[in-house]
Amino acid sequence: MIAFLIIFPLAAAVILYICKSDILNRSVTTLYSAIYLASAVSFTIQRPSDMEPYFMVDSLNVIFILVTAILYFGISLANISYFKDSDVPVKHQTTYYISLMLFVFSMNGFMLSQHLGLNWVFLEATTLATAYLIYFDKTNEALEAAWKYIFICTIGISFAFVGIIFISKGVGGSVEELFYRSLYLNAKSIDTFWINIGFLFIVLGYGTKMGLAPMHSWLPDAHSEAPSPMSAMLSGTLLNLAFLGILRVYKIMLAADDLFFAKNILLIMGFLSLIFSAAFILKIKNYKKMLAYSSIENMGIIAIGICIGGPAVFAAFLHMIGHSLTKASFFLTAGNILHRYKTKESEKIDSLMHNDYKTGTLWLLSFISIAALPPFPLFISEFMIVREMIGQGRITLTVIFLLLLTIILYGIASTIFRMLFGNRDNSPGEHFYDGIFLYLPQIMFLVLLLIMGVYIPEPAMKILNDAVSMIVPK
């Protein structure tokens, strides 16, 4: 099963390249997303073992696979109508779908691989696969964003490589020793000097990819220039992936009983992310960029949740899932707005509710979710993190945390509400495509969020608890 999941996108990419057919593009990617979703669900019950020891499903990555599968399925649906009334030639559309396939391939490889070096290679592959997607609109801004993305992420990845060299030095330099399983087993015997410095470099590297400050500067541009379904994909899945990479290495630190350093590094980076997004989000005029800053903020919250420990680790996982679904819904809706108004500047848009109540409602609901208001799951996760912070007596930290969140919320809310309300009839007169797939994925994501916010079903709870038990001290 794993072999199929990994090979299918590669084969599909070749077929799409040869055929260059519009219908085939859409049907193959949608078909694969459905298969992927079905297998991700089946992984929660039965874990395949066909590609051990290199690729495996374990308690930690199954949750990431599931989130990626749900998002990818929704985004494939959105893709069906994405090119409906655009004048992009089929050749370029095909390249879009091929890049998407390669992107999914490298993400699969990354999530499933159980080897530090292999993991690194696949993360680099995600950068290459997504670069074209960011450059897709072929404007000067898109070129700049894509270049910034490749350059900063490649430097980050090189840092991670240095970290891997350090860790491999610590375990004695052989390739077999870099399997996570053996790293966890031998963690106690690794020299703490190597493991700490290795962790630092890997967190700097993967943190770049995750969008943690101060290495986040590629993220706002890349997420705002990419086509909206791809922004949703980048924000909802790729950031999580880097987080998975960090968790894997964090677990080595846990196994080595050396968490102090790791926790502090993540805590500092988490708070820096909040500070950077609070500082920039108030002045942002581009609503897609604003969403990107919100992603940086949420990655910061997740990193903080992991450092606080205890119930906050559970909260961090919940937050990751909630953020992925919300942000995907948000970016897809932003795509609808862009499609309708042909501008990314929030000041040129108002009366959205009046002119297009469907998009307006989705925009509002996504906002309520990202604002962490009940009944959405982000409320539960942020509440748990704050409660745990207070429980540990970190009052100053809590106050700063809440203050920063409030500033960010104010920044997002003022933009969103300005866009939503008003009575001006400013609907562009020209005809534009309107169809079910512009709304269905967002509705699907929001319904899932509502379910999770009201009541987390037993199987989902078990998956979450299993993942948490992987990275909390016993």
Residues that bind another protein (CB under 8 A): 117, 121, 124, 128, 131, 146-147, 150-151, 154-155, 158, 161-162, 165, 168-169, 173, 191, 193-194
> What CA–CA distances, in Å, run from 382 to 133, 213, 313?
32, 20, 11
SS3 345: strand
- How far is it, in rounded angstroms, from Cα 24 to Cα 221? 31
Supply 364's token pair.
């509002």
Could you tell me if 312 and 421 are in contact, meaning their C-beta atoms sit under 8 angstroms apart? no
Q: What is the CA radius of gyration of the chain?
A: 21
- How far is it, in rounded angstroms, from Cα 459 to Cα 170? 39
Closest among 262, 242, 297, 268 to 124, alpha carbons compared: 242
- How far is it, in rounded angstroms, from Cα 7 to Cα 279? 44
Closest among 281, 279, 284, 250 to 267, alpha carbons compared: 250
- How far is it, in rounded angstroms, from Cα 108 to Cα 376? 28
CA pseudo-torsion sign 422, 426, 428, 431: positive
DSSP string, 115-131: BHHHHHHHHHHHHHHHH
- How far is it, in rounded angstroms, from Cα 54 to Cα 72? 24
Supply 122's token pair.
């696949």
Could you tell me if 225 and 134 are in contact, meaning their C-beta atoms sit under 8 angstroms apart? yes
* Burial environment of residue 64 by CB neighbours within 10 A (0 to 12, 13 to 18, 19 or more): buried
**Shortest Å distance, C-beta 106 to another protein:** 13
- How far is it, in rounded angstroms, from Cα 83 to Cα 230? 13
CB hemisphere CA count around 206 (13 angstroms): 31
